[in-house]
Structure 1
């Protein structure tokens, strides 16, 4: 199917090239001229009846899978609900730990200390009501993979300073950052313990952030492992195993009055 569709779309999406060639006794061919035209892929493009007829059964089957209820969300959640941490961000950080840690531990014998994702990676909210696979794709449309990094104490300090400087609801789990009203540090703990600059911390993130996305340069040079698990798939697997989504804003990151 993909070959037939790919060929059809190729005619629509790409330029038509006319190659005028010359030949000689040695049968060598030479490119002498290239011309092209453009076909815009937009709402004005007419559908191709044969293609529509071919893909319709597959689309119906896919839509049925995408719209099947996996779980239930009682309260609407969006990434901008609160400034420092949000229910939907806390949900995603928890899911990465809950779904990813058993795989990582089975391979290394180690637990994950913290999870860190990015606010911008949440691409849609979750309205109250049935939770479907389609919703997971809308929240996480990218193919980012869970990536586990080993950060030194100094790198962890950079990570913490990054979050303090940005003051944004980047999803994280396993850590608490409490600031005073003047932005001085009131409390910072990792797994309920003060930061130890002499130890190594296991941080679950995604491959985009590990590679410096969102200016998270503190991951640079850190040993890492991919566990072959896309975050979106982890979200779908979590939705399938819980009856009701229950997440709240808490005090993992806050500024005191």
Structure 2
């Protein structure tokens, strides 16, 4: 009898101990906490981050170059000084990196019009300028494309009817009806059998701004080099910024 009673108690406590209780919230309450100037500053946190803030501000505000004028992406119909500068700067900075890795040269650079997020104002140029113009973390990608894909790029540029930035190695002429009159890369007509190396951003490479022509391709090289960093490096190199609207993309009336 005692033996049976012992097993009954063992079974009872084992069963009740293993049985999971359903625990959950009975009520969820949300509250809006507004972040504004009325919030008090934590002096300890402020003291901790102050040296880092000073260091970052110093880096961002250090003068890298001087701009002789103010430049905007709306300054020109077919190409703009700021767009030309950005595409040419990416070419100048990225081509040595690409050539060192692949033994090939970049044929031209293509960027997206929407990627230019600010003007460059007349006066001192700092790293903060680059962050305003290119606030995104986009990196440079080089895709190998056959000549027929280059024709797709040209069609895209013409059909957009705006100043899509590309570097000076590519030259494009259209008539008053937007028919293509001529296209050259490094002063040569496009060879449909040749592989051209086109540098762009990882955003446009992944079909951003409807640039669907980068895939499939003949190979891709990720340079691990941010466009913004290329701009900063170029600012340091040029001393004085004076880009112009040129003949890389013109309309013949």
Can you list the C-alpha shifts for 1:55-77, whole angstroms capped at 9, x where unaligned? 23322221121111011111111
The aligned counterpart of 1:16 is none
Once residues 92 and 19 of structure 2 are traced to their aligned partners in structure 1, the CA distance between those partners, rounded to angstroms, is 64
Q: 1:248 — aligned with what?
A: 244
Q: What residue is the counterpart of 2:72 in the other structure? A: 78
TM-score by length of 1: 0.85
Displacement after TM superposition at 1:98 (Å): 0.6
Could you tell me how far apart the structure 1 residues matched to 2:21 and 2:75 are?
64
CA deviation after TM superposition for structure 1 residue 53, in Å = 3.6
Helix, strand or coil for the counterpart of 2:240?
coil
Q: In structure 2, do the counterparts of structure 1 residues 148 and 29 end up closer, same or farther at CA, with 3 Å as the change threshold?
A: farther
Cα shift readout 1:106-158 (whole Å, capped 9, x = no counterpart): 01000011100011001111111000010111111001000000111111111
**Bigger radius of gyration among the two:** 2
Structure 1 counterpart of 2:108, from 102, 105, 114: 114
Q: TM-score, normalised by structure 2?
A: 0.86
Q: 1:61 aligns with which of 35, 55, 58?
A: 55
Q: 1:38 to 1:139 in 2, by over 3 A?
A: farther
In 2, distance between residues paired with 1:220 and 1:159? 12
Match of 1:235 in 2: 231
Structure 1 residues 108 and 28: alpha-carbon distance in aligned structure 2, compared to 1, 3 A threshold? farther
Aligned residues: 234
Of stretches 56-65 and 210-219 in structure 1, the one that deviates more from structure 2 is 56-65
Q: Superposition pairs for residues 192-211 of structure 1, below 5 Å?
A: 192-211=187-206
Q: Do residues 48 (structure 1) and 48 (structure 2) align?
A: no
* Alpha carbons of structure 1 residues 65 and 155: separation in structure 2 relative to 1, 3 Å: same
State the shift of 1:188 in Å: 1.1
Deviation at 1:226, TM superposition (A): 0.5
Q: Which residue of 2 aligns with 1:130?
A: 124
**C-alpha separation in 1, matches of 2:111 and 2:23:** 50
Could you tell me how far apart the structure 2 residues matched to 1:154 and 1:30 are? 64
Decide whether aligned partners of structure 1 residues 187 and 31 sit closer, same or farther in structure 2, where only a CA change above 3 A counts: farther
Aligned to 2:176, which of 169, 181, 186?
181
Aligned Cα RMSD in Å? 1.9
Q: 1:202 to 1:59 in 2, by over 3 A?
A: same
Structure 1 residue ranges without an equivalent (≥5): 1-23
State the 1:30 CA deviation.
5.4
SS where residue 194 of structure 2 aligns?
coil
Gaps of 5+ in 2: 1-15
Task: Name the CA shift for 1:99/1:28 in 2 (closer, same or farther; >3 Å).
Answer: farther
Aligned to 2:148: 154
Change (3 A) 1:35 1:148: same
Deviates more, 1:239-248 or 1:74-83: 239-248
2:216 alignment counterpart = 221
Moved more, 210-219 or 49-58: 49-58
**Cα distance 1:211–1:47, how it changes in 2: closer, same or farther (>3 A)?**
farther
**Partner SS for 1:93:** helix
Deviates more, 1:140-149 or 1:48-57: 48-57
Structure 1 pair 55/245, CA: closer, same or farther in 2 (3 Å)? same
